[in-house]
Amino acid sequence: MTSGDEMHPLLEVKDLQALLPTRRGIVKAVDKVSLVLNPGRVLGIVGESGCGKSMLAKAIMGLLPARSIVPTESIVNFQGQNLVRMKKTHKRHIIGREIAMIFQDPMTSLNPVMKVGRQISEVLCHHLKVSKQTAHRRAIALLDLVGIPMANRRADQYPHQLSGGLRQRVAIAIALACGPKLLIADEPTTALDVTVQAAILDLLASLQQEKQMAMILITHDLGVVAGRTDEAAVMYAGKIVEHAATNELFKQMRMPYTHALMAAIPRLVNRPHTRLLAINGQPPDMVDLPPGCRFASRCWKKQPLCIESEPALKRINGRGHRFACWYPLESAENP
């Protein structure tokens, strides 16, 4: 459909807001998020549960719950075209084809009453208008590509006949069917056995490299981000609070919240039976946000200014490290 334009980044999100009306008031699930992603790059998005990671992904895809509000100032440029303002008929050619998504629970994207091979071939027929025979052949090749043994036989099975790990591989095959330029993976391993989590992340990494896709990898675990992403954005209460190249982030984190997430990673060096550090306190009520820094009530470095005034997300160096904090961590305070 749309041809790549060298003038534009692949994805450029600017001041994106997703407002969800509830009985208690409006939840600012995504609050003025801006980010840029270039072809072939992997961006990790990390933060505690409820901080808006899934809503950000859904806002980019245009898959927010009914009645959600995306203000018209919000911009989601994909190859230079704003998806927020694009006609549905045009967007249908992009979503599921050029931008694909995999979810935490593969059953979200799989149809329980359709054979898995057919679920893939239908996507191919719909988007690429290939014949049924071609689609069937390609579906089996895709099942093989995502590491499903005896793909020929598995294609004739229903989702419930497969393990959780195999189901997630099928979901990945569906997402990859049309060769997307951007893949959004929303906690793709959270619902799986620990034993298969690494295998699925390895599979995603090798497919991403082979196809040179851009990928957004969403997780609540900073440990997943390490070594698997080029850059990482930390979200808190609907906002990005720190964003940097992944190695830079781990070397020199500036936002105390990033440090707190880091401290919550299990480590091999921990003595057996030591409890994981949980971050003290609760994230703020997303319907009634405080005027200052949203992390202030839980922050050990807070000063009166933090409670009065919200720090902006500022760039600190030419390498694009951004953070929002009045009293950032110094080198000596890094873990």
Ligand X SMILES: Nc1ncnc2c1ncn2[C@@H]1O[C@H](COP(=O)(O)OP(=O)(O)O)[C@@H](O)[C@H]1O
- Residue nearer to ligand X on the CB measure, 18 or 162: 18
By rule CB under 6 A, what string of x and - marks binding of each residue 241-280 to ligand X? ----------------------------------------
Give the one entry of ligand X, Mg ion, none that residue 50 binds, where binding means its C-beta sits below a cut-off of 5 to 8 angstroms depending on kind: ligand X
Residues with Cβ < 8 Å from 13, sequence gap 6 or more? 33, 34, 35, 36, 60, 75, 76, 77
Residues 188-222 as b/e (b if ≥16 CB within 10 A, e otherwise) read bbbbbeeebbebbbebbbebbeeeebbbbbbbbbb
Tell me the closest approach of the beta carbon of residue 221 to Mg ion, in angstroms: 12
CA separation for the pair 56, 239 (Å, rounded): 10
250: how many CB neighbours lie within 10 A of its CB?
A: 18
Q: What is the Cα Rg of the chain in Å?
A: 21
CA separation for the pair 271, 258 (Å, rounded): 23
Tell me the closest approach of the beta carbon of residue 58 to Mg ion, in angstroms: 9
User: Two tokens at 188?
Assistant: 């793709």
Tell me the closest approach of the beta carbon of residue 277 to ligand X, in angstroms: 20
Which of 4, 24, 25, 65 touches ligand X (CB under 6 A)? 65
Residues with Cβ < 8 Å from 307, sequence gap 6 or more? 290, 291, 292, 293, 296
Please tell me the count of residues contacting Mg ion according to CB under 5 A.
Answer: 2
- Residue nearer to ligand X on the CB measure, 65 or 304: 65
Does residue 97 belong to the site contacting ligand X (CB under 6 A)?
no
Does residue 25 belong to the site contacting ligand X (CB under 6 A)?
no
Would you call 16 helix, strand, or coil by DSSP? strand
- Token pair 């099928």 in the structure block, residue: 170
- Looking at beta carbons, which residue is closest to ligand X? 54
Q: Is the dihedral of CA 310, 321, 262, 108 positive or negative?
A: positive
Does residue 54 belong to the site contacting ligand X (CB under 6 A)?
yes
Which of 10, 27, 43, 54 touches Mg ion (CB under 5 A)? 54
Tell me the closest approach of the beta carbon of residue 47 to ligand X, in angstroms: 6
Does residue 22 belong to the site contacting ligand X (CB under 6 A)?
yes
Does residue 219 belong to the site contacting Mg ion (CB under 5 A)?
no
Which of 16, 43, 46, 55 touches ligand X (CB under 6 A)? 55
Tell me the closest approach of the beta carbon of residue 43 to ligand X, in angstroms: 15
Q: Is the dihedral of CA 157, 160, 166, 167 positive or negative?
A: positive
Return residues touching ligand X (CB under 6 A). Answer: 20, 22, 27, 29, 47, 49-55, 65, 286
Return residues touching Mg ion (CB under 5 A). Answer: 53-54
